[in-house]
């Protein structure tokens, strides 16, 4: 058992932390939000220069062969700066499908492009009726000669407005809520019949509604198995939850520090408000919650590559429950301890709170994963 980082991991962490400290101050972030893409192309290129866009890809495909620990460290640093770029969508989610579902030829064509920052991906799985259920898929994929025709709509697609390819789930057979009969397809954003409407999400990131109107795709657009795509989706989602746990940890940690600074400097009744016991105890509870989240983010990094799918799903649902619970408690407490100032757009604190709220919502909130965990019989077997 060893919780220490390797020298390489430490260097990687340092380089991104330095870059963000230098180029991703709150004022910078406000500026990036007003740019044409609503995030920073300059930073995207800087991530590419640091190698962050190629981290999890295999070396033979042109990546750096890094594991879930490296991904967690990157996500944590990005969480502490609440970065806006499509890293999670492209590298972790989209990249996950390419790594686990694409053919060697597809990987050879796409991975170097992703690594260079020239290709962006997104994953569309939510539909208007589906809430958090990944298997609730009304979008259809019908066989058309050797290829496929897709019909349907995907919603709240993270960075779907800028992606060059959108990966979607579509039903190849069975009824709307069946767990089998789901395929995963790689859809070029410029394919005929694809329309998209981009919009800001509440945390300042970007979402898109994607309509698929009789979109014809070649046979190789299908990633993996035509009828058993859900296993692939689960695998990628679990890696995504692990990365998201890192990002949430970074945001919680930064918000906790911001709150402590405020408690030490803000004065009322003639003394710093951090000298009042009721506020101290709430701050201590925030710290307990933060350390629980840190422990579970580490568990996530350890379990993201677990081969036993059921065991991995169990642990990742537990992680998502904890991240959701901790994020909500720390976010709400931070605002309460600050008072009105943290309710303003002009203050950094509220932006962490908003990101932590969307992190809980994404890929199933804490209650959803608690229900999932219940259905799997809980974390541990009975004696």
Partner 1 sequence: MDLRFTDDERAFRQEVRDWIDANLPADTRERLAAGRTPTKEMQLNWQKKLNAKGWCVPHWPAEWGGRSDWSAIKRFILLEELQGTPAPIPLGFNCNMLGPVLIAFGTEEQKKFFLPKLANLDLWFCQGFSEPGAGSDLASLKTRAVREGDHYIVNGQKTWTTLAQYADWIFLLVRTNPEATKQQEGISFLVVEMNTPGITVRPIITIDGAHEVNEVFFDDVKVPVANLVGTEHRGWDCAKFLLSNERTGQARVGASKDRMRRLKLIAQNAPGGERPMIEDSRFRERLVEVEVQLKALEMTTMRVLADENRQLSERKPNPASSVLKIRGTEIQQSISDLYVMAAGPYGMVGADPDGDRWNEPELAPEWATLAQPTYFNWRKQTIYGGSTEIQKNIMAKAFLGL
Binding site for partner 1 (CB under 8 A): 1-6, 9, 69, 260, 263-264, 274-275, 277, 279-281, 283-285, 287-288, 291-296, 298-299, 301-302, 315, 318, 321-322, 370-371, 373-374, 378-383
Q: Which of residues 45 and 285 has its CB atom nearest to partner 1 in the complex?
A: 285
Residue with tokens 């909500």: 328
Q: Which of residues 218 and 378 has its CB atom nearest to partner 1 in the complex?
A: 378
Residue with tokens 């101290």: 280
Q: Count of CB atoms within 10 A of residue 320's CB?
A: 31
Cα separation values, 76 from 50, 298, 354, Å? 16, 11, 16
Q: What is the DSSP letter of 55?
A: T
Q: How far is Cα 332 from Cα 351, in angstroms, rounded to an integer?
A: 12
Residue positions counted in the chain: 383
> Is residue 229 within 8 Å of residue 169, measured between CB atoms?
yes
Label the pairing between strands 147-154 and 206-217.
antiparallel
CB of 325 to partner 1, least distance (A): 8
CB of 205 to partner 1, least distance (A): 27
SS3 4: coil
CB of 361 to partner 1, least distance (A): 18
Q: Which of residues 208 and 273 has its CB atom nearest to partner 1 in the complex?
A: 273
Q: Which of residues 28 and 292 has its CB atom nearest to partner 1 in the complex?
A: 292
Label the pairing between strands 222-223 and 140-144.
unpaired
CB of 7 to partner 1, least distance (A): 12
Q: Which of residues 222 and 319 has its CB atom nearest to partner 1 in the complex?
A: 319
> Is residue 191 within 8 Å of residue 168, measured between CB atoms?
no
Structure tokens, 78? 């990005």
Q: Which residues pair with 170 in a beta bridge?
A: 183
Q: Which of residues 52 and 293 has its CB atom nearest to partner 1 in the complex?
A: 293
CB of 53 to partner 1, least distance (A): 22
CB of 87 to partner 1, least distance (A): 21
Cα separation values, 51 from 64, 186, 208, Å? 8, 24, 27
Q: Closest Cα to residue 159, out of 92, 75, 73, 230?
A: 92
CB of 177 to partner 1, least distance (A): 20
Q: Which of residues 11 and 108 has its CB atom nearest to partner 1 in the complex?
A: 11
Q: Closest Cα to residue 244, out of 19, 376, 47, 78?
A: 78
CB of 173 to partner 1, least distance (A): 31
Q: Which of residues 240 and 372 has its CB atom nearest to partner 1 in the complex?
A: 372
């Amino acid at each position: 058992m060893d919780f220490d980082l390797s020298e390489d991991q430490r260097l990687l962490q340092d380089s991104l932390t330095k870059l963000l400290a230098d180029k991703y101050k709150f004022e910078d972030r406000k500026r990036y939000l007003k740019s044409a893409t609503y995030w920073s192309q300059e930073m995207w290129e800087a991530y590419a220069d640091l190698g962050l866009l190629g981290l999890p890809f295999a070396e033979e495909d042109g990546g750096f062969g890094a594991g879930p620990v490296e991904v967690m460290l990157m996500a944590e640093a990005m969480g502490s700066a609440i970065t806006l770029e499509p890293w999670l969508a492209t590298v972790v989610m989209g990249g996950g499908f390419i790594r686990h579902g694409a053919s060697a030829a597809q990987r050879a064509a796409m991975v170097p492009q992703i690594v260079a920052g020239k290709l962006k991906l997104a994953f569309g799985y939510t539909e208007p009726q589906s809430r958090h259920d990944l298997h609730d898929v009304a979008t259809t994929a019908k066989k058309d000669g050797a290829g496929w025709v897709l019909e349907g709509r995907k919603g709240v697609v993270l960075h779907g407005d800028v992606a060059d390819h959108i990966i979607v789930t579509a039903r190849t057979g069975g009824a709307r809520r069946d767990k089998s009969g789901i395929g995963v397809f790689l859809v070029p954003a410029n394919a005929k019949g694809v329309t998209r409407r981009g919009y800001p999400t509440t945390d300042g990131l970007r979402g898109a509604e994607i309509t698929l109107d009789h979109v014809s795709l070649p046979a190789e657009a299908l990633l993996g198995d035509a009828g058993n795509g859900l296993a692939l989706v689960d695998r990628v989602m679990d890696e995504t939850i692990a990365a998201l746990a890192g990002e949430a940890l970074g945001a919680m940690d930064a918000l906790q520090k911001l709150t402590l600074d405020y408690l030490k400097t803000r004065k009322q009744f003639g003394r710093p408000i951090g000298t009042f016991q009721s506020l101290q105890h709430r701050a201590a509870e925030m710290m307990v919650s933060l350390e629980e989240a840190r422990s579970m983010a580490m568990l996530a990094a350890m379990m993201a590559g677990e081969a036993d799918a059921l065991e991995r799903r169990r642990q990742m649902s537990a992680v998502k429950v904890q991240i959701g619970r901790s994020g909500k408690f720390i976010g709400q407490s931070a605002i309460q301890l600050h008072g009105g100032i943290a309710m303003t757009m002009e203050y950094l604190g509220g932006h962490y709170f908003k990101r932590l709220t969307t992190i809980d919502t994404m890929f199933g909130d804490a209650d959803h994963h608690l229900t999932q965990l219940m259905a799997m019989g809980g974390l541990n077997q009975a004696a």
